[in-house]
Amino acid sequence: MADIPARTELKVTTGPIRGSRKVHVGPLNVAMRAIDLEPSSGEPPLNVYDTSGPYSDPNARIDIMAGLPQLRRDWIMGRGDVEAYDGREVRPEDNGQLGPDRSGGVPQFPNVVRRPLRAKAGANVSQMHYARRGIITPEMEYVATRENLGREMLREYVRDGESFGAAIPDYVTPEFVRDEVARGRAIIPNNINHPETEPMAIGRNFLVKINANIGNSAVASNVATEVDKLVWAIRWGADTVMDLSTGRNIHDTREWIIRNSPVPIGTVPIYQALEKVGGIAEDLTWEIFRDTLIEQAEQGVDYFTIHAGVRLPYVPLTAKRVTGIVSRGGSIMAKWCLAHHKESFLYERFDEITEIMKAYDIAYSLGDGLRPGSIADANDEAQFAELYTLGELTKRAWEQDVQVMIEGPGHVPMHKIKENMDKQLEACGEAPFYTLGPLTTDIAPGYDHITSGIGAAMIGWYGTAMLCYVTPKEHLGLPDRDDVKVGVVTYKLAAHAADLAKGHPAAKLRDDALSRARFEFRWRDQFNLSLDPETAEQYHDQTLPAEGAKTAHFCSMCGPKFCSMKITQEVRDFAAKQNAPVETFVAAEEAEAGMAGMSGIFKENGGEIYLSRK
Amino acid sequence: MADIPARTELKVTTGPIRGSRKVHVGPLNVAMRAIDLEPSSGEPPLNVYDTSGPYSDPNARIDIMAGLPQLRRDWIMGRGDVEAYDGREVRPEDNGQLGPDRSGGVPQFPNVVRRPLRAKAGANVSQMHYARRGIITPEMEYVATRENLGREMLREYVRDGESFGAAIPDYVTPEFVRDEVARGRAIIPNNINHPETEPMAIGRNFLVKINANIGNSAVASNVATEVDKLVWAIRWGADTVMDLSTGRNIHDTREWIIRNSPVPIGTVPIYQALEKVGGIAEDLTWEIFRDTLIEQAEQGVDYFTIHAGVRLPYVPLTAKRVTGIVSRGGSIMAKWCLAHHKESFLYERFDEITEIMKAYDIAYSLGDGLRPGSIADANDEAQFAELYTLGELTKRAWEQDVQVMIEGPGHVPMHKIKENMDKQLEACGEAPFYTLGPLTTDIAPGYDHITSGIGAAMIGWYGTAMLCYVTPKEHLGLPDRDDVKVGVVTYKLAAHAADLAKGHPAAKLRDDALSRARFEFRWRDQFNLSLDPETAEQYHDQTLPAEGAKTAHFCSMCGPKFCSMKITQEVRDFAAKQNAPVETFVAAEEAEAGMAGMSGIFKENGGEIYLSRK
């Protein structure tokens, strides 16, 4: 048995986010972050959406060897439609042939659940199933409170935005959540074997969410850093995390991550299935894939990326592309289809997969295996052929009340982004869209968090429900801790820009609070209200380190004399002193009138002015 | 006399940009960068737009004590409409009361021009004036060659984009440049006293340009670093540079910058004028301002930001704003107007200013002194009142054939960006729009190069001609060398994303070349074709440092076994081997047909599948 590393080795990032207090709202104790403002502001604390889980709660006892408390356990058991059973035994191939003792590999999680839950025979435990039967679950109530974020402060709020046909409510009720889930316009990804999650919704009429990818790799990483990558990613705002681990230790790494994750975890099961057949795509079988689904379902994976839309007839459509097939799952299935010259078993067995999903309440993330990998390949026949097949599969999944979201591109120039959103809404009956970027140009490797952040903000505005982050290392290497943070914050700001543009009632509160702080030189409030308080303060201090500068009524950009905000305040004071309200000023019209005549006069003596030496 | 620092102290960044060769194209020797690709690619070198000037030319002798060669001198003299005259003497107040010997300040530029040029009495030397008389200047020819960039490779190019009514030609002729300048849709900012410039055009039908701001500050910096900031900014792609220096040494710092700049230099003259009156806005006078215009005109400033649209009646419109007036120039003029309760002298003397501009061919950059400083203030009455006044002033400047561009916001949520572009085109007769960002949210200080890069890409797509960069330090501190680079590269990618979306013929060539390199694992080509080859390679090497990795047919993200691009190539080979062209595949329709029946069968035995333990 491999040694359990000392706890110090398994240390993860804890403690409050700078300037924030953890608060728990409502009967379900929905976790939020309260940002207290300086007394001089005369403003109440601002509550912001909080994905960081217990890790940012000073009162929580964190022990990743034990895993997080099971917030949803009672809710799940209380519905009386699940049964515990003897789980599938872990096999050597689950961890890359490490052997039963896992020697040399990642230690087994000390607290593994031996008897996972599944739906009783004939039952369906998906949130969509409950929703369609008119049942409002605690998960839905939790989501409603969580999404409502400060909307009660908005009594006289005037809706301002363009939502392109979304139906964002002024106030989110549990019934609204139920209705959105029932009609498939939103999903609540919550495997019954992952009771540690704080429920969240992914849907066009809720706040735009972001996903961060983590995972070990054939080349690097270990379990401690993987768990901390999760904790680190949610600390900065990741709403869900995908574990894209490959190679050895996949099973055990995933166990550590799920048991310590307050956010939904997604995976791409075909990656592990491929490991089980030594990486030979042709050797994949339905049995091995199904066995992998069961294995991950019992661990508690909340959504599966399934590339069931990569069909045999579509493969040749990619042959003339500049970058062919860039989705790993897509290329694996394409190779399998060609090798056997048969239709994809994911497509042919789709309804069987759905049967498994509904027994654990796992949501589909229907993969876009044929997404474009370059500007040149955007919006081509292969991409849209797959999209329409994903639409067909969405309806098939909905027949069994299984939750679905749809994955989207990729690399798309700005003028072709909206077509992706419009076609997805039409083909997939408003099932939530979940896009990777898209990257709006190919020429900036090292800055692809930005090339894609542009596309992400735009497609989020158009209606995408969740944005999969891209880090600065995209196309180049493995993201480190800093890259993950930059990727998450970049996508958080893109998602927020989208919420603002959609006219999301709660979104503008934070911008306005920060702008008031900026205008009044409340530097600490400005830092604390920002998405990354530490970086904001650090940048400020690089130029003006003195503590005094944090209360100074100017900043380093202009210095004391030139500060335009200071001058504006003087303008206001001045106007006040000589009590000169709006009315007393020359009316715009009058001013205009006088001008025409003047310009003539100026021209007369103007001729020589540039000759003047005075 | 202050000592002239040793040349070592004045070292600036020189040498070729990684992977690029300086080439000179056509009879005017237009400078471009040729990127050579690996022989295995079978592709010709790719020429890219080059703003870096002689500094990246190994054959150029760089001596910033002497300044750059005067490329345009003969063109200017050849027109026979200018005269040299005894320039204005430098006064103590020009450098912040340092006294005639400048003791303790920046040393005087060793090679100052004592007899600047101006138009002969009654003459007009603006490019617009020549254009309107049907004259094609060498400056226009230079621009045509420079903008054409690889378009000759595009014989069978199919235009793909949405340009929102722009008129981008397949091929740029000198006559097209002349016509765009004549109708005011493009400007070529080129003071006759700045003959060191390589001519460039700013206009909706040319490549989107970017500006970088540099400048000393009340708090930091010195001349050597200022000159290198210029050299550094243009190395990474800045098309123009604005010198926003304040405090002492303004005059001498500007002289060093202009004499060493191959790109147009812009300034905000009101900043220096304010210094001359000890920072007291109320003490500003037309005489002091005019004297400052002459001072800077003789030095060779190519465009002036003039906040002539901040009129007395508009000032109270800002009183209820969340962030009031955030433009320095705007707040200075607002304070002046209030203090004297008089209309702005910039507005009243506008035609006199224009007289000066046309004598040196200085372009207007009509400042948006009332631009919004927060999401809350976007598109408000004050902002648009000023915009329509800028439209009126544009036509007044055009009456004297003086070139004009219009400055724009600021902070604007995505759904309000297009209205800015549409109103500007309508109000200002298609004069080039020059925007700062806009920032699409206020909540990410430290990441405002990204919040604004999103808005910049969008408004560039909609028709903005030049994007003023924002660095990560925006709102927080002074940008250092790294911040300037990140800001420039971010804006370069935003401008390029805009060119792509507009369907600019030359834009896509570079994306396609890089994507082919990526797909074929030509790592070095991928680095060299990127906007920042150094960062791209550095990120790659952090994970896979070995030289071999640069030719390896996989990368660190997936490792050898999982590389989707590798699998795609295998898919192609496989298809080729068993010669299975498109036709031999199951037609999509057939496949569809078979499915309906199947799904029924699966359902039968599917019921128990998730119970299976195998």
Could you report the per-residue pLDDT of B492-551, keeping only the tens digit for each? Answer: 999 999 999 999 988 999 999 999 999 988 999 999 999 999 999 999 988 766 666 665
Q: What is the pLDDT of residue A512?
A: 95
Average pLDDT along chain A: 88
A160: confidence class by pLDDT, cuts 50, 70, 90: confident
Residue A460 to residues A456, A493, B297, Cα–Cα distance (Å): 6, 11, 47
In a mutational test of the A interface, the residue from B454, B473, B542, B590 whose CB has the highest number of chain A CBs within 10 Å is B454
| Whether B295 contacts B94, CB under 8 Å | yes
Task: Pick B451's closest partner by Cβ from A328, A343, A497.
Answer: A497
The average pLDDT across B571-578 equals: 65
> B494: closest CA among B459, B462, B456?
B456
- For residue A416, report the phi and psi dihedrals to the nearest 5 degrees: -110, 5
The average pLDDT across B219-240 equals: 84
Q: What is the pLDDT of residue A5?
A: 44
Asked whether residue B333 carries a pLDDT value surpassing 80, the answer given is yes
The average pLDDT across B403-417 equals: 98
Asked whether residue B235 carries a pLDDT value surpassing 90, the answer given is yes
Non-local (6+) Cβ contacts of B580 within 8 A are A316, A338, A341
Asked whether residue B108 carries a pLDDT value surpassing 80, the answer given is yes
Asked whether residue B153 carries a pLDDT value surpassing 80, the answer given is no
Q: What is the pLDDT of residue A112?
A: 87
A308 or A159, higher pLDDT: A308
User: What is the complex's ipTM, to 2 decimals?
Assistant: 0.91
Asked whether residue A588 carries a pLDDT value surpassing 50, the answer given is no
Element (H, E) at B434: strand B433-436
The average pLDDT across A220-226 equals: 65
Non-local (6+) Cβ contacts of B53 within 8 A are B31, B68, B198, B231, B234, B261, B262, B263
B427: confidence class by pLDDT, cuts 50, 70, 90: very high
Non-local (6+) Cβ contacts of A45 within 8 A are A21, A34, A35, A36, A37
> Of the ranges A324-328, B368-372, B431-435, which one carries the lowest mean pLDDT score?
A324-328
| Binary contact (A575, B338; C-beta < 8 A) | yes
Q: What percent of chain B has pLDDT over 70?
A: 84
B358: confidence class by pLDDT, cuts 50, 70, 90: very high
Task: Pick B443's closest partner by Cβ from A339, A514, A571.
Answer: A514
Asked whether residue A577 carries a pLDDT value surpassing 70, the answer given is no
pLDDT digits (tens, 9 = 90+) for B238-276: 999 999 988 888 999 999 999 999 999 999 999 999 999
Q: Is B42 annotated as a binding residue?
A: no
Residue of A nearest to B381 (CA): A588
| Binary contact (A571, B331; C-beta < 8 A) | yes
Q: Is B328 annotated as a binding residue?
A: yes
| Binary contact (B493, A588; C-beta < 8 A) | no
Q: What is the pLDDT of residue A107?
A: 83
In angstroms, the CA A145 to CA A158 distance is 21
Distance between A109 CA and the closest CA of chain B, angstroms: 22
Stated pTM of the model: 0.92
Amino acid at B588: A
In angstroms, the CA B235 to CA A578 distance is 51
Residue B282 to residues A395, A563, B347, Cα–Cα distance (Å): 70, 15, 16
Asked whether residue B103 carries a pLDDT value surpassing 80, the answer given is no
| Binary contact (A574, B339; C-beta < 8 A) | yes
Q: What is the pLDDT of residue B555?
A: 53
B571: confidence class by pLDDT, cuts 50, 70, 90: low
Name the most confidently modeled range: A571-575, B219-223, B411-415: B411-415
In angstroms, the CA B81 to CA B359 distance is 10
> Of the ranges A318-322, A345-349, A583-587, B387-391, which one carries the lowest mean pLDDT score?
A583-587
Residue of A nearest to B88 (CA): A613
Amino acid at A180: E
In a mutational test of the B interface, the residue from A214, A325, A443 whose CB has the highest number of chain B CBs within 10 Å is A443
| Binary contact (B376, A330; C-beta < 8 A) | no
Distance between A354 CA and the closest CA of chain B, angstroms: 9
Residues of A in contact with B614 (CB under 8 A): 287, 291
> B505: closest CA among B156, B123, B255?
B156
Asked whether residue A559 carries a pLDDT value surpassing 80, the answer given is no
A571: confidence class by pLDDT, cuts 50, 70, 90: low
Asked whether residue A604 carries a pLDDT value surpassing 90, the answer given is no
Non-local (6+) Cβ contacts of B202 within 8 A are B186, B187, B188, B189, B209, B239, B240, B405, B432, B434, B465, B466
Distance between A242 CA and the closest CA of chain B, angstroms: 15
In angstroms, the CA B392 to CA A564 distance is 26
A86: confidence class by pLDDT, cuts 50, 70, 90: very high
The average pLDDT across B553-577 equals: 62
Q: What is the pLDDT of residue A17?
A: 94
